Amino acid sequence: MLVDFGNGMALKLAYLFTSFVTAGAGVAHAAPPLLSALTLTFEDEFSGSSLDADHSAGWVSNYTIPSTINNELQAYTPDALVFDTTNGVLRLRADKRSYSGMGYTSGAITTFAKFHQTYGYFIMRAKLPAGQGLWPAFWLLPSNGKWPPELDVMENLGNDPSSVYLSNIWPGGQSQTKFTGPNFSAGYHSFALEWRPDVLIWYVDNIERRRYAGPGIPQSPMYMLVNLAVGGSWPGAPTQSTIFPQSFDLDYVRAYQFNPPLAGAILSAVTLSGIFVSKPIAQAGDTVTIISSARVGPNDLPDGVYEIGVCGYWGSPCYVFDVESTTKLKANSVASLTYNYKVPPFLPDDWYNVYVTLMAGGAATSSAVATRFAVQNSPNGFIANPPALSPAMVP
């Protein structure tokens, strides 16, 4: 589900799997880890009227991509996120409407540059949509933007709501299992992945459905992505029988770390401040000043070289604006960053999220809360706000 465009910029949501698909029968029905023995590191119950923007549960909602990937037909828009506050559910809504040259809109949320960890237990409880051309997924991607690896906790093709695909990709290889169970669009079900250095275990409704102990298990931090794609080379396009709107309904998403953390786990040992951006709207050639800082704690970081990087995020690619190296950081010390970014002419007109991230060995250890600015070169501007949903979805 990802295509790498090189230069560290990976565009997600492109169908890759041409390798073998095996049924889930015959695997051991082991129980998932005991949650009381784990440390909860991320939790969003979707009980409010907006996404939790805290570092502990931070999402990015304006997930966009600069070009059509894998023949998919949707544009991701922030207003495709519908909050059912009565039931504590977030609905990623797919609609048949035109936006930015695409014939459909849909929703996606990602913790890129906000939350990531190495190893642990990742779980989502959700109700899937049903219909030809729908493609919901819950997956993990590397925080440093270099793909592969990729871990797919769950993928589904809407024309077969009783089957889910449990997958992993690594440099030079990929593996996937198809598990067929109940109709996952008829009610809520849990989908989880236990990630250890030497084994990956997938669970559906708290029962093991796949175990992988081969090559290519990721060993560096990854972030989470939940999305509902429409169309694409794998599911195919919607047909007249596909009913819109459709929604991918999320009850909760949680992540846990092993206690104590496994050797090699990179923890978020740094708290980064919010970001000040001097220009909310800029043009090519303008200079945008970005200011932030990082506070270390509660423990010293090990000896080594760390990079404080400023990253502009437009959909999937991460345009790294700059990095500043620093040496060993003591507990409670503060590293400040001021960077003047000159907007290049190649950035298309759109909103850009900005992050400040602490990197160690090419892997992000923690990141600041995002802010954003717009690039607007066209005299006619661009659609800053997508058109209103019609008909409106009632939670």
Span 277-318, pLDDT tens digits: 888 788 888 998 887 776 665 455 555 556 666 666 544 455
Under DSSP, is residue 50 helix (H, G, I), strand (E, B) or coil? coil
Other CB atoms within 10 Å distance of the CB of residue 49: 8
Can you spell out the DSSP letters for 94-130? EB---BTTBSEEE-EEE-TTT--BSSEEEEEEEE---
Find the angle CA(127)-CA(133)-CA(139) to the nearest 5 degrees.
Answer: 50
Decide whether 2-257 matches 270-375 in CATH topology. no
194 in active site? no
Which residue numbers in the chain have pLDDT < 70? 1-29, 52-58, 60-68, 113-114, 144-145, 266-274, 294-332, 351, 353, 355-372, 379-395
pLDDT computed for residue 272 by the predictor = 59
Residue ranges per structural domain of the chain: 2-257, 270-375
d(CA 186, CA 242): 16
What residues contact 200, with CB distance under 8 A and at least 6 apart?
Answer: 151, 168, 193, 194, 210, 211, 212, 213, 217
According to DSSP, residue 25 is labeled T
Question: Token pair for residue 97?
Answer: 């409407």
Other CB atoms within 10 Å distance of the CB of residue 269: 18
How far separated are the first and last CA of the chain, in Å rounded? 29
pLDDT computed for residue 296 by the predictor = 61
For 2-257, CATH number? 2.60.120.200
The strand pairing partners of 122, in sequence order, are 193, 255
d(CA 115, CA 56): 7
Q: Of 72, 150, 194, 208, which is the active-site residue?
A: 150
pLDDT computed for residue 140 by the predictor = 95
155 in active site? yes
Question: Token pair for residue 365?
Answer: 């250890």
C-alpha distances in Å from residue 42, one per residue of 59, 121, 267, 340, 390: 11, 10, 13, 33, 34
| Superfamily holding 270-375 | Immunoglobulins (2.60.40.10)
Q: Of 72, 155, 194, 208, which is the active-site residue?
A: 155
